[in-house]
Amino acid sequence: MAVTSLTELWHEITGTQTDPTHTLLLASAGAALVAVVPQPVWRLTRNAVTIAHEGGHALIAVCTGRRLSGIKLHADTSGVTVSYGKPHGPGMVFTALAGYVAPALLGLAGAALLGTGHITALLWACVALLGLMLLMIRNWYGVLALVATGALVFGVTWYATAQVQAAFAYFAVWFLLFGGVRPVFELQWQRGRGRAPQSDADQLARLTGVPGLLWVLFFGVVALGAALLGAHWLIPGWTAHLALPHS
């Protein structure tokens, strides 16, 4: 990105870019599936979903008036966000609710930006959000994960060509849309084997009295709905092929 002033940079960020080709759209979607489906790859790429998950907890904690203490990310792709406030009530409920829906909703927001041609704005928004989250990281692995992710996004945003930026942006959004679905299935698999007694769904069950399975179903509906709507925005008209023929 060659800019000579802040004004020029602002116009570059807020401007729109040309629509990508269908080849790029489909290739980026395929690459995102490869990053989500195979288990060996998922062990690495799941770190990005954890960043979004914990960022969702942190954002809603702040928005609901809770005091955010810090975020930790771990090498096993788990994470924890600590906030202080009432141990019950709407603030705690929404904070617990935010984690599993955050990747899908971030992907949906990204799809909305890309659908209107704001590729550069999306990339800079990612840099800004990662920078803000870095301020609240409280362990070294978390710092490493955030710095590495932020450096990658910034490098693409600042140095890459427009075509590479578009490919990366679409891959990232597809990845969040697909990557928001898989953890929900993993969550229920762990719950079914008694391996996640402190999961977000079980915390919500204790807070609200609504069974944890229903919360898992809610997470799944949000994630799948975001993936379908996001795909519709990214590839306008594709859902027409899914419609049943009229009699």
Exposed e or buried b per residue across 85-101, where buried means at least 16 C-beta atoms within 10 angstroms of its C-beta: eeeeeebbbbbbbbbbb
The answer as to whether 12 is a domain residue is no
**Predicted TM-score (pTM) above 0.85:** yes
- 112 occurs within a structural domain: yes
- Is 70 within a domain? yes
Is residue 63 assigned to a domain? yes
Summarize pLDDT for 127-162 with one digit per residue, the tens.
999 999 999 999 999 999 999 999 999 999 999 999
Q: Is residue 9 part of a domain?
A: no
Q: CA 121, CA 114: separation in Å to the nearest integer? A: 9
Residue spans of alpha helices (H) in the chain: 6-14, 22-36, 39-63, 90-115, 119-134, 140-159, 162-179, 182-192, 200-208, 212-234
Instruction: Count how many domains the chain has.
Output: 1
Residue 240: inside a domain: no
Domain membership flag for residue 7: no
Give how far Cα 129 sits from Cα of 51, 56, 203, 207, Å.
Answer: 10, 11, 27, 29
Whole-number Å distance between alpha carbons of 9 and 16:
13
Q: Is 216 exposed, middle or buried (0-12, 13-18, 19+ CB in 10 A)?
A: buried
Q: What is the pLDDT of residues 33-90, one digit of tens each?
A: 999 999 999 999 999 999 999 999 999 999 999 999 999 999 999 999 999 999 999 9
Q: In which band, very low, low, confident or very high, does the pLDDT at 16 lie, cut at 50, 70 and 90?
A: confident
> Considering the domain boundaries, does residue 90 fall inside one?
yes
State the Cα–Cα distance between residues 233 and 118, nearest whole angstrom: 13
What tens digit of pLDDT does each residue of 186-242 get?
A: 999 999 999 988 999 999 999 999 999 999 999 999 999 999 999 999 987 555 545
Q: Range of 96's domain? A: 21-235
